[in-house]
Amino acid sequence: MSWEKPTDPERLLRKVDLSKDDTRPHGSAQVGICTCGDESSAAFYAWDPNLYRENDTPVLIEFEADEPVIAIDGRDFLYTAFQFGNCRKTSDALRKLFGPNILFYAQPAWDSMDHDKRIALCDLAIYDRDVIQYYYQNKLVIAGRLSTKFRNSFKIRLPIGPSSIIRVWIPTAFSELPPADVNLSDIIDQPS
């Protein structure tokens, strides 16, 4: 997955005509990988959506990462909430999951009819240190796009050095996450 941390996010947040061209400049992408901040979410992604006949062994890798290389992976929940959410239906859920700072990005997104701007604002939110730290502590179960269930999901800029790896193991059984506390389909306006 791509890692495209915008430069000068505070200036971009104030930009009236903000777009993905500002937050995803051509040629700026580095490489990242998908991760989770808790074992139960990682196990879901290892077992459920990634099981294929030719590759059916789930592997979990626990590692440490420094804050500057961590961002939120918003593909299964947050980008959709920014694109199709609204203040009335979505703000309480986002505040519970991501903390109050997420609304600095979400509110202007919902105030705009421009979906490109909504995505660009989410691009800024996923790199916000306060939002990331709050989300890492989240204990609520999220039901996201395509039947995903997780507590949090991140992307980490590569490389991850061998000294950062704590352990690698194959889980012996799939353990289902509890029922979702926040369901994406309940907090967004369904796209037409």
Q: What are phi and psi of 171, to 5 degrees?
A: -65, 145
What pLDDT does residue 58 have? 85
What pLDDT does residue 29 have? 78
- Residue ranges of E strands in the chain: 2-3, 30-35, 60-63, 70-72, 142-143, 149-150, 154-157, 165-169, 182-183
What pLDDT does residue 52 have? 61
Peptide bond into 100 cis (omega under 30): no
Write the CB contacts of 22 (distance below 8 Å, at least 6 apart in sequence). Answer: 6, 12, 15, 120
Packing angle of the helix pair 87-98, 103-111 (nearest 10 deg): 160
List per-residue pLDDT tens for the chain, 192 residues long.
888 898 899 999 999 999 999 999 877 778 999 999 999 999 888 887 566 657 778 889 999 999 999 999 999 999 999 999 999 999 999 999 999 999 999 999 999 999 999 999 999 999 999 999 999 999 999 999 988 899 999 999 999 999 999 999 988 877 778 899 999 999 998 765
User: pTM, whole model, 2 decimals?
Assistant: 0.92
Query: Residue 136 belongs to what H/E stretch?
Result: helix 129-136
What pLDDT does residue 109 have? 96
What pLDDT does residue 161 have? 94
What pLDDT does residue 189 have? 86
